[in-house]
Chains A and B, each alone.
Chain A
Amino acid sequence: MSANRTEQIHSYCIHCAALCGIVAYVKDGYLVKVEGDPNSDNNAGTLCPKGLSAKQEIYHPGRLKYPMKRTRPKGDADPGWQHISWDEALNTMAARMSEIKALYGPESFFFQKGSTGGSSGSEWYRFFGRLSSLYGSPNHGGTGHICCYSRSCPGLPLHFGNKGLHPSIDYEKTNFILLVGYNILHTEPPLARKILDAQQRGAKLVVIDPVLAPTAAKADIWLAPRPGTDLALFLAMHHVIIHEGLVDADFLKYWTNAPFLVRDDNGLFVSSDGNPYLVWNAKERAPQPANPWFPSHVEPALNGSYSVNGISCRPAWQLFTDMVEACSPEWAEKMTWVEAEDIRRVARLYANTKPASTDWYNGLHKSSNGYYTAVALALLSVVTGNWDVPGGLSFESDPTFKDVKGSQHLPEGWINNSLVAAAGFKARAYNKEYVGPMNLVADAILTGKPYPIKGMLALASGMGTSNPNSKKMMDALKQLDFLVMGDIWETPAMAMADIILPCATHWESEFVNYNPPYLMHRRPIVEPQHEAWPDLKIIFELAKRLGFGKEFWDGDIKKAFNTMLEPFKVTVDDLDASPPGVRYAPPPQPYRRYAATDEKSGKPKGVATPTGKLELYSEKLKTLGYDPLPAWREPEPGPVSTPDLFREFPLILSSGFKPMHWLHGQLRAVPWLRECDKEPSVWINRRTAQKLGIPEGERVMVETPKRDGTIQGNVVLKAVLTEAVHPQVIYIPYGWWQGCDSLALEGYGSLDGSANVNNLYDDSFTDPVSGTIGMVSYPCRVRKE
């Protein structure tokens, strides 16, 4: 096609967090096509199926077109949607929100943000948080509990002090890539070529995943543990590393709390004379303060048993060593079904290759033992000296945009008044991490405890399908006095809404961001279709009507962007004046941050943990009532932890990896994408299917129990027979609810008989530390429909 009369707009795609630079070709106001921008450092001209299908998404006739209100009672099959103006929608929202706040308090209104992509929630969430803070509600829900709590939201702050920073691996330098529950070749498209390049140059790729996902298929070594038992595998790797003397002892002595003495009687650190921490100086055979730094002539002991002022104690490393002593590869083989020799081989290869990186994502995370699993995995980097070094497990730079989340507007004591704190997720509350698991709100609505939740504004959140226990969520949403949901598409949960709002795609909205090498003002490549508004505009206009105009830059989004840009000393006008943006080179990624020196004092800064060191042993967790070490615990539910449930539901249901063409529950309506992947399915091992008499392509029902053994729910899916899963494991791709009119495929709904895997989960099996939900090791049975 001719590009002569076509305008080229440089922007970036924010369907996912990878941020690929794009060039949009626009002719007479309509989008001709989107391509990867060859000048982008991230994606170098490449682009994934989601970004490439922009024009089918934008011009899709099935999108929500205008604001609507219900005219019939909730529970009616037909809500009687009536087209209303944006003014009416926003004025009603402001009035009802003020009323609920006056009657029940601000905490009774819940602000829910869903996906980071599609409508670019990873950008506008800051202003959504600002709105909830100004309103005064500590209940700001997200998806951390089913996504990335143990990686980057907030990460593992108690142990390693890296709150909110994402792992950022230098794939050009690493010689070993250990990936766990992370289909990175598909979920981070711009990293695919870099990882394959690393492998081609000789770096080993080891993937741990119960399913042969595309990334696992490219691995030099693929280990497929019983779902939810990765912790046992990592403990066995520690066992091998310690037994074979592959530990970086100097690193442990000087940069971690491994030598800190722990009291045998109460598990707390030994303190003395105002010194909160002591180590045993092997040179002088005497205790030595560690505050947290000690002189270099000190030789702290890592092992042994000592007595200090009559208190018997041992270094934290000794306790860790004692714990993993029982976790031999042979023991782990029983737990994980992975052969002991394979575990040994991977442990040796990992510990003997430098630098070695690790990374993980929500496959590891969606388990009731996910928190400690991530700790044990991250500690592999620590004990081998691969922490925060080039080519090891390193982390991105601190964010540089000015913080506009407005947390300072929250009332005093907000954290104690949050659903997160009330639910007992003390570590989460300790981190002042107030983005709460959205399942908590369902309980609060249904029980009125700890207090009633009466209203909710949910943007870009398919709450009817995206949270485990969809039935409970739908029942809860029905009980709300006032529910507003905004999205690009009409989702199943909107059946319970009072007002629904049509949101713009990210292609039709704006923001400012760093898309290397440019600081960019991402402008709409086309105007929003129909009456859709960008989420950001909804937030700003609602804020004005709630009386927060002044704190929202008098409704001027450009001014808000300028505030965000202040640290860069540029304005939106500067960025617009030189498309595609202003070149910006961030400071080089810092390494060895644990050893950084404070310029004033000349002393090490330490990391943001209670001890100032990387923590192998968390005294803070101990005082909060948790295990200070990542000791083995079975996933719940599971064939070992809940054997009664597995008597009638003998298969293990796992759900997880995301293919590149889908973004969680989004985009199923886009025909180009749907032609590639038409039907929701369940992967069943060939041998198991044969026993069950299920042929390829057969429609089957998958059924699961609640905690008490009664039926939780069912789904109906197409059977895909494969050897990519263990004979006792079935795998269900998630995110299926939407129809695709073009291919004559109807929607599936979200409850029984649907294709929604979240209908199968009782959400009460939670990780006690983080609140994440056990979803990878769930009992189920399969039969022909």
Chain B
Amino acid sequence: MARYGLAIDPSRCTGCYACIIACKSENSTLPGVSWIRIEEKEEGEFPKVSKTWTPVLCMQCAEMPCEQVCPTVAITRGEGGIVLIDPQSCVCDGAGPCLSACPYGVLQVNQGNRPYFRDYLTPHEKQDYEVHVQGAVEKCDLCYHRVVAGMQPSCVQACPSKAMLFGDLDERAGDLAQLVSRGQAKPLREDLKSDLSVFYIDKGAGKGSGVFESGLPTPSRF
């Protein structure tokens, strides 16, 4: 068994949007829909002011609060524990109790297969829009089609800062599992006990650990 997950290091994120556009390019999500967002936070007063960026996406919770409220059993767990929404079964017509059940606000409704350009579907849209279903709820699936083929999610690969690490939490000796077991990577919200697979590096727990240097080998399968 594997359990795929991420560790994200906000101290390396520069808010550049590469993850957002990599996701767009890979998954052809529709206008206004993004499966990953970057939260920007400014604190303090000039010149003692700081700015931080935090990428937020589906946390792949084991307990799936979204699934618990889904009236049509559209939400399941796929290979590696990845939470998947079957667009064909997602038919509660926009009532979407899952939208508000998600503590991270990362679910979005496909409002319709509208092309980006007026009266013109680009060649890639023509092909890719087939997998998107109007009215269905969508979210990040860690690039399921890529990871089952042994590749990294597109955002992880693209990130110019190498602020994201993809791995298998069940691989005890792996970098990801080590970060979590040493307490260097923690859930975004520790108040929620939802056994999730996406973690955030906590610099307070050991600054300069060096675990994220991009020279670090990625797990052999990836």
Which residues does A use to contact B, with CB under 8 Å?
Answer: 1, 27, 30-36, 38, 43-49, 52-53, 55-56, 59-62, 185-186, 189-190, 192-194, 196-197, 200-202, 212, 214-215, 217-218, 222, 224, 659-661, 671-673, 675-677, 685, 722-727, 741-743
Complex Cα–Cα for A691 and B11 (A): 34
Complex Cα–Cα for A517 and B154 (A): 23
Residue in B21, B122, B159 whose CB lies within 8 Å of A46: B159
Contacts A61-B120, A186-B14, A660-B16 known; list 5 others, CB within 8 Å: A48-B160, A49-B17, A193-B162, A218-B11, A224-B47
Complex Cα–Cα for A661 and B17 (A): 7
Residues of B within 8 A of A61 (CB): 117-118, 120
Q: Take A45-B157, A197-B213 as given contacts and tell me if A742 and B118 are in contact as well, using a CB distance cutoff of 8 Å.
A: yes
Across the interface, do B15 and A214 meet the contact criterion of CB distance under 8 Å? yes
Residue in A62, A193, A725 whose CB lies within 8 Å of B160: A193
Across the interface, do B14 and A185 meet the contact criterion of CB distance under 8 Å? yes
Whether B3 is near chain A, meaning CB under 8 Å from some CB there, is no
Could you tell me how many residues of chain B have their Cβ less than 8 Å away from some Cβ of chain A? 48
Across the interface, do B18 and A46 meet the contact criterion of CB distance under 8 Å? yes
Residue of A nearest to B52 (CB): A217
Residue of A nearest to B38 (CB): A676
Across the interface, do B124 and A33 meet the contact criterion of CB distance under 8 Å? yes
Across the interface, do A53 and B44 meet the contact criterion of CB distance under 8 Å? no
Complex Cα–Cα for A759 and B24 (A): 34
In the A-B complex, the 3 residue pairs with the smallest Cβ-Cβ separation, listed nearest first, are A30-B123, A660-B16, A217-B51
Across the interface, do A33 and B46 meet the contact criterion of CB distance under 8 Å? no
Which residues does B use to contact A, with CB under 8 Å?
Answer: 11-12, 14-18, 20-22, 24-26, 31-32, 34, 42, 44-47, 49-52, 116-118, 120, 122-124, 127-128, 145, 154, 157-162, 208, 210, 212-215
Most B C-beta atoms less than 10 A away, residue of A27, A55, A196? A196
Residues of A within 8 A of B17 (CB): 49, 660-661, 673, 676-677
Residues of B within 8 A of A27 (CB): 127
In the complex, what's the smallest C-beta–C-beta distance from B17 to chain A, in angstroms? 5
**25 A-B pairs (CB sep. < 8 Å):** A30-B124, A33-B124, A35-B158, A43-B160, A46-B158, A46-B159, A48-B18, A48-B158, A52-B21, A53-B25, A55-B124, A59-B117, A59-B122, A62-B117, A185-B14, A192-B14, A193-B161, A201-B210, A214-B15, A217-B14, A217-B52, A660-B16, A660-B18, A671-B31, A724-B46
Across the interface, do B160 and A46 meet the contact criterion of CB distance under 8 Å? yes
In the complex, what's the smallest C-beta–C-beta distance from A456 to chain B, in angstroms? 32
In the complex, what's the smallest C-beta–C-beta distance from B167 to chain A, in angstroms? 16
Residues of A within 8 A of B157 (CB): 35-36, 38, 45-46
Residue in B15, B21, B159, B213 whose CB lies within 8 Å of A53: B21
Residue in A1, A36, A53, A59 whose CB lies within 8 Å of B128: A1
Q: Take A200-B210, A217-B50 as given contacts and tell me if A1 and B16 are in contact as well, using a CB distance cutoff of 8 Å.
A: no
Residue in B26, B42, B117 whose CB lies within 8 Å of A60: B117
Across the interface, do A52 and B213 meet the contact criterion of CB distance under 8 Å? no
Q: Take A55-B122, A661-B17, A676-B20 as given contacts and tell me if A723 and B25 are in contact as well, using a CB distance cutoff of 8 Å.
A: no
Residue in B22, B31, B52, B118 whose CB lies within 8 Å of A52: B22
Across the interface, do A726 and B160 meet the contact criterion of CB distance under 8 Å? no
Across the interface, do B51 and A214 meet the contact criterion of CB distance under 8 Å? yes
Residue of A nearest to B43 (CB): A723
Q: Take A52-B25, A197-B214 as given contacts and tell me if A186 and B16 are in contact as well, using a CB distance cutoff of 8 Å.
A: yes
Residues of B within 8 A of A45 (CB): 157-158
Complex Cα–Cα for A215 and B162 (A): 15
Residues of A within 8 A of B15 (CB): 214
Across the interface, do A724 and B42 meet the contact criterion of CB distance under 8 Å? yes
Across the interface, do B160 and A59 meet the contact criterion of CB distance under 8 Å? no
Residue in A33, A190, A200, A214 whose CB lies within 8 Å of B25: A33
Residue of A nearest to B115 (CB): A742
Complex Cα–Cα for A277 and B41 (A): 58
Across the interface, do B212 and A742 meet the contact criterion of CB distance under 8 Å? no
Residue of B nearest to A727 (CB): B46
Across the interface, do B213 and A685 meet the contact criterion of CB distance under 8 Å? no
Residue of A nearest to B20 (CB): A676
Most A C-beta atoms less than 10 A away, residue of B17, B32, B213? B17
Across the interface, do B42 and A722 meet the contact criterion of CB distance under 8 Å? yes
Complex Cα–Cα for A53 and B14 (A): 19
Across the interface, do B47 and A660 meet the contact criterion of CB distance under 8 Å? no
In the complex, what's the smallest C-beta–C-beta distance from B216 to chain A, in angstroms? 10
Q: Take A47-B22, A48-B18, A676-B17 as given contacts and tell me if A685 and B128 are in contact as well, using a CB distance cutoff of 8 Å.
A: no
Residue of A nearest to B208 (CB): A200
Residues of B within 8 A of A673 (CB): 17, 21
Complex Cα–Cα for A46 and B161 (A): 8
Residues of B within 8 A of A722 (CB): 42
Residues of A within 8 A of B16 (CB): 48-49, 185-186, 189, 192, 214, 659-661
Complex Cα–Cα for A299 and B34 (A): 68
Q: Take A192-B160, A660-B160, A741-B118 as given contacts and tell me if A200 and B124 are in contact as well, using a CB distance cutoff of 8 Å.
A: no
Across the interface, do A196 and B46 meet the contact criterion of CB distance under 8 Å? no
Across the interface, do A723 and B42 meet the contact criterion of CB distance under 8 Å? yes
Residue in A1, A49, A217, A685 whose CB lies within 8 Å of B145: A1
In the complex, what's the smallest C-beta–C-beta distance from A396 to chain B, in angstroms? 20
Across the interface, do B46 and A224 meet the contact criterion of CB distance under 8 Å? yes
Complex Cα–Cα for A675 and B215 (A): 33
Residues of A within 8 A of B52 (CB): 217
